[in-house]
């Protein structure tokens, strides 16, 4: 497969819970391919947003059949790179821990702590592969974060700048004590898909940033005795509705950077 088959892809978007398609894509073509690491979560949809060519992949599959620990993060990122993407915007549903991250807020986190386990988190384990110890001081690409921030300002969309994302194993939600521990560790947000995706993107040399959509107060952080899927989906729908506008503004910002 050659990158030329798909034109120059300015941005690849990985959609999380609640974002399974970008309906505004024009001239859309779907493709998929096996990678050396297996099959990705589903088709990559490549199309135009105005004059900008972007690629979209639903992390959990278009029918949300893959739980966070079963997502083939390696195959997803590998395929996006293979078709010529150099920048990845990850959309992640999260729970809010810090008070800036109330339900329906959109955050642009700048740090991660990885609490996941048993996920393959590197491309450096096949025999004969060079072992890379990639720098993760800044796990999200600062220039892409800055572009996102500028785009949100231009589009008049409120975003919360910065914050530490705690990546948990799922698929169950956390206990109150687990969230209290994450808070003590300095986490502002909690989600199940931030890792190993960010580390793998760094190994592949991809620019990578996250839009974290707050679906609920994390366990024990709000007034509610428990987290319901109804509130999760209602809040995510609200936050997700702003994403296409934000992506369009990001493409403008990147074009003029
Ligand atoms: N915890 C972990 N992941 C999540 C949450 C949460 O409370 N809400 C949405 N994704």
Question: Domain residues of the chain, as ranges?
Answer: 11-255
- The CB of 91 under 6 Å from ligand 1? The reply is no
CA-based nearest residue to 13, from 254, 243, 253: 243
Q: Any idea what DSSP says for residue 85?
A: -
H or E stretch at 30: strand 26-31
Pairing of strands 11-15, 52-58: parallel
- The CB of 166 under 6 Å from ligand 1? The reply is no
- The CB of 95 under 6 Å from ligand 1? The reply is yes
Per-residue model confidence as pLDDT tens digits over 59-95: 999 999 999 999 999 999 999 999 999 999 999 999 9
Q: How far is the CA of 232 from the centre of ligand 1 (A)?
A: 9
**Contact of 47 with 26, CB cutoff 8 Å:** yes
Tell me the best of 18, 174, 178 to mutate to test the pocket of ligand 1, counting ligand atoms within 8 Å of each CB and taking the most: 174
Per-residue model confidence as pLDDT tens digits over 241-251: 999 999 999 99
**Comparing 21-25, 34-38, 164-168, 247-251, which segment has the lowest mean pLDDT?**
21-25
Q: Is 146 exposed, middle or buried (0-12, 13-18, 19+ CB in 10 A)?
A: middle
pTM of the model: 0.96
* The listed CATH number (3.40.50.1580, 3.40.50.1370, 3.90.1150.10, 3.40.50.150) that belongs to domain 11-255: 3.40.50.1580
Q: How far is the CA of 66 from the centre of ligand 1 (A)?
A: 16
As given in the structure block, the two tokens for residue 84 are 């010529």
């Amino acid at each position: 497969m050659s990158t030329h088959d798909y034109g120059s892809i300015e941005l690849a978007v990985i959609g999380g819970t609640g974002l399974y398609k970008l309906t505004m894509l024009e001239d859309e073509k779907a493709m998929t391919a096996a990678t050396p690491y297996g099959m990705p979560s589903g088709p990559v949809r490549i199309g135009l947003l105005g004059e900008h060519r972007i690629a979209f992949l639903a992390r959990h599959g278009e029918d949300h059949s893959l739980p966070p620990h079963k997502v083939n993060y390696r195959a997803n990122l590998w395929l996006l790179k293979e078709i010529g993407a150099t920048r990845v915007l990850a959309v992640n549903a999260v729970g809010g821990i810090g008070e800036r991250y109330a339900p329906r807020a959109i955050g642009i986190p700048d740090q991660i702590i990885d609490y996941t386990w048993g996920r393959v988190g590197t491309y450096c384990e096949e025999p004969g592969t060079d072992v890379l110890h990639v720098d993760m001081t800044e796990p999200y690409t600062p220039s892409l974060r800055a572009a996102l921030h500028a785009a949100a300002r231009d589009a008049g969309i409120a975003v919360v700048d910065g914050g530490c994302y705690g990546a948990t194993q799922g698929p169950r939600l956390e206990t109150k004590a687990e969230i209290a521990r994450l808070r003590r560790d300095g986490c502002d947000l909690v989600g199940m898909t931030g890792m190993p995706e960010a580390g793998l993107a760094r190994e592949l040399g991809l620019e990578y940033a996250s839009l974290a959509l707050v679906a609920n107060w994390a366990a024990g952080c709000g007034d509610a005795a428990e987290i319901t899927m109804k509130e999760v989906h209602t809040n995510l729908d609200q936050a997700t509705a702003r994403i296409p506008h934000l992506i369009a503004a990001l493409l403008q910002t990147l074009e003029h950077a």
